Each structure stands twice: as structure tokens, then as C-alpha cells.
A = this chain, B = another copy of it.
Amino acid sequence: MGTLTARTTRTRADKFASRRRMLAEAALATIAERGFANTGLREIAHHSALSHGSLHYYFQDKDDLIAEAVWLNKSECARRYDEIVVTSGDATELVERVADAMAATLRDDASLHRLWYDLRNQSLFEDGFRDTIVRIDALLEQMVWAIVQRHSELTGRPPILEPDVAYALVDGLFQNALIRFLRGDPGAIDRLRRDCAGLFSSLT
């Protein structure tokens, strides 16, 4: 076998990783459109620069691809509120900005959130990408709890609920708004903003 320079192996690995990312993004967009169960590998490949045969060169199987795709999207999504938590100076500003951000992502990324709930439900039937879903779920719970804790700091009042309950309530609110929005109710955005602000304000 030929000996490879360190530079070559690194660019190789980089290209491999970048291809994986590109395919994962194509998978994300495609599945977000039609749902996990209704989307085949050929359709995903059609939305990318490669053919359907290549998917098994970069991913072990379909579950591997989907896990990478949802992780790519959701792990970054969970960090989107960190800056708000850090830079908010008082409690009302924190609550307002969080509510605004949630309303904005409901409006802009509705089909991606729909995909998330789709995959989280599928993972209750099969264990293909269950581990990834569980990890993301934990991330989202930490995200909500970070907001609650910061709000507690700013108000001086202790949180009145535990992290998992807080996450459950916020998630219920968001999922309900998402469903209403997708069913054609544009007012769901503003109502989510209002209810979200009210909920976070009353969690401490």
C-alpha cells in the first residue's frame, strides 16, 4: 500500500466529512418536505449532487443518514438560545427575546420542526436512530432549563418546577402551535409568542 502524507489524509478526511454533511443536508431538506416514511433514498439523492448508490458509500444505512441529518439540524438549533441567555440583562428582556426566537423559528422552520417530531415518534417504534433522538431530547431539555435558571437568577425567585417538567410544558406549547400553524392558522405565531412569554414568566 502506498504511504500517504499527513496532508493528504487530512484533506481526504475533510472531503469525506464535507460530503457527508452535504448529503445529510440534502436528506434533511427532502425528508422535511414529505416525511420520513414517504421519502426514499433515491429521492434524497435526487436533491443532492450524487446518485442513490453513493449514499451507502458515505453512510452505513438509511438510519445512519437520517441520524446524521437530524443531529446536524437540531444540535445547532438547541444552541441558538445560548446567546440570548447570556446577554439578556433583565428578566423581561430574557423572556421577550426567547419568546420572539421561538415564534420566529416556528414561522421560518416549521417543516424542520415537523420533521423532528416525526423522527422522535418513529424512534418509539424502531431503534434505528433512537440514541441520537434521545441525545437531542436531552439537549433541548437543557436548553429550556438554562433559560429557566437564568430567569431565576434575574428575578431572584427559585424555579418552581423540575427540568423535565419545564421542558414538557414548553414542548407542549410549541408542538401545539406548530400543529395549528401547519393546519393553516397564521395567528399561531403570535399566540405562541404570548403564551411562551407567559409560561416562562411563571416558571420561577
- Which A residues fall within an 8 A CB radius of B? 34-38, 114, 117-118, 120-122, 124-126, 134, 137, 164-165, 167-173, 175-177, 179-180, 182-183, 191, 195, 199
Contact = CB atoms under 8 A, between A and B. Distances in A.
19 contacts: A34-B125, A114-B121, A114-B125, A118-B121, A118-B124, A124-B179, A124-B182, A134-B183, A165-B195, A168-B173, A168-B175, A168-B176, A168-B177, A169-B169, A169-B172, A170-B172, A171-B172, A171-B176, A172-B172
Nearest to A164: B176
Contacts of A172: 168-173, 175-176
A170 B120 CA distance: 19
Contacts of A164: 176, 180, 191
A35 to B, nearest CB: 4
A27 to B, nearest CB: 16
Contacts of A195: 165, 168
Given A35-B125, A125-B35, A173 B182 contact: no
Contacts of A191: 164
Copies of chain A in the complex: 2
Contacts of A38: 125-126
Contacts of A125: 34-35, 38, 114, 118
Contacts of A36: 37
A165 B169 contact: no
Given A134-B183, A183-B134, A37 B122 contact: yes
A171 B173 CA distance: 9
Contacts of A114: 121, 124-125
Given A172-B170, A172-B172, A179 B120 contact: yes
A173 B183 contact: no
Nearest to A194: B165
A122 B180 CA distance: 14
